[in-house]
Amino acid sequence: MRKIFSITIAVALMAFAVPLKKKTKVYLIGDSTMCDYESSRAPLTGWGMPFKVFFDSTVQIDNRARGGRSTRTFLSENRWQPIADSLQEGDYVLMQFGHNDEAKEEKYKDRYTPVVDYTSNLIKFIGETRAKKAIPVLITPVSRIRFANGVAQETHKEYTAAVHEIAKQYKTPLIDLDKKSRDLMQAMGPEYATLLFMQLEPGEHPAYPDGQKDNTHFNEYGARRIAELVLKGLKENGVELAERIVKPVKK
């Protein structure tokens, strides 16, 4: 009797001892350079896709990035509020916008966001993330490929500067992906840095019969290299998330 009682107690206690700790969620918010794609569009790949396998089982990546979105349209389409609502203490929000905010051409007026609004929108994301005791991480927009005389050129100057300013003012972790990706392209050089992008000869890949010459969007290789740079940036910032990077399986 006493034994059964003890066992019952033990089982009851165990139920409480089981850590109620849920997985830490890492929300990715941003644009086409980060988002998930259907396999029918392969090799087109957002860096959020390879990024998912970089963490151990205590972390869950939720890639909410969407092609064509600026900070403004991400908000106006009600893509932010559901994230803000579900954020828990210790979660992360990695934000990378700029490509569509900065698009001044008439055909992109639906997404264009002046720097001043871009800044206030990012500050809103930061404030509402912190209100939930979650951790905002600012990421400057990943570079496009543009070389002049063999030198990789800045392609997001104004908006990247704004992100730096906000990070400084609000003391958030900052990953300067614009610079890191440009350095990667510089190291590969003008001829081979194209290997990172959606550049295909006609007939090379069935999904793009006419070929592709895209200086903004990454292929599977480029997306992984960019995801590696973001991971490096997390480590450099010393965020706790960097302690939960997946450990290699011993052979």
Partner 1 sequence: MIKFSCWALLFLSAFTAPPKKTKVWLIGDSTIAAKEVKAYPETGWGMPFANFFDSTIAVENRAKNGRSTSSFRKEGLWQPVIDNLAEGDYVLIQFGHNDEVKTKATYTTEKEFTENLVRYVNESKSRKAIPVLLTPVARRKFDSTGHVQGTHDAYSKLVRGVAKRLAVPLIDLDLKSQALLQRMGPEASTYLFNHLLAGDHPNYPEGKIDDTHFNELGARKMAQIVLAEIKALKLELATHIYQPQVKK
Q: Is 61 in the site for partner 1 (CB under 8 A)?
A: no
Residue (of 50, 90, 93, 88) closest to 71 by Cα position? 93
Residue (of 198, 167, 196) closest to 184 by Cα position? 196
Helices (H), 48-92: 48-51, 71-76, 81-86
Residue (of 83, 50, 94, 35) closest to 239 by Cα position? 94
In this structure, which amino acid lies at residue 135?
I
Q: Is 231 in the site for partner 1 (CB under 8 A)?
A: yes
Give me the 21-60 binding string for partner 1, x by CB under 8 A, dash otherwise.
------------------xxxxx------x--xx------
Q: Is 247 in the site for partner 1 (CB under 8 A)?
A: yes
Shortest distance (Å) from residue 68 CB to partner 1: 13
Q: For residues 89-105, b (16+ Cβ closer than 10 Å) or e, as one string?
A: eebbbbbbbbbbbbbee
What is the three-class DSSP state of 205? coil
Residues 28, 48: Cα–Cα separation, whole Å: 7
Q: Catalytic amino acids?
A: 32, 201, 217
Residues paired with residue 68 on neighbouring β-strands, in sequence order? none
Near partner 1 in 138-157, by CB under 8 A: none
Shortest distance (Å) from residue 215 CB to partner 1: 16
Q: Is 107 in the site for partner 1 (CB under 8 A)?
A: no
Shortest distance (Å) from residue 11 CB to partner 1: 35
Q: Is 125 in the site for partner 1 (CB under 8 A)?
A: no
- How far CA 112 is from CA of 32, 97, 108, 144, 219, in Å, comes to 15, 12, 6, 18, 25
Near partner 1 in 80-99, by CB under 8 A: none
Shortest distance (Å) from residue 196 CB to partner 1: 9
Stretch that binds partner 1, among 9-17, 23-31, 145-153, 224-232 (CB under 8 A): 224-232
Near partner 1 in 190-219, by CB under 8 A: 191-192, 195, 203-209, 219
- For residues 12 and 53, which CB has a smaller minimum distance to partner 1 in the complex? 53
Residues that bind partner 1 (CB under 8 A): 39-43, 50, 53-54, 188, 191-192, 195, 203-209, 219-221, 224, 228, 231-232, 245-249
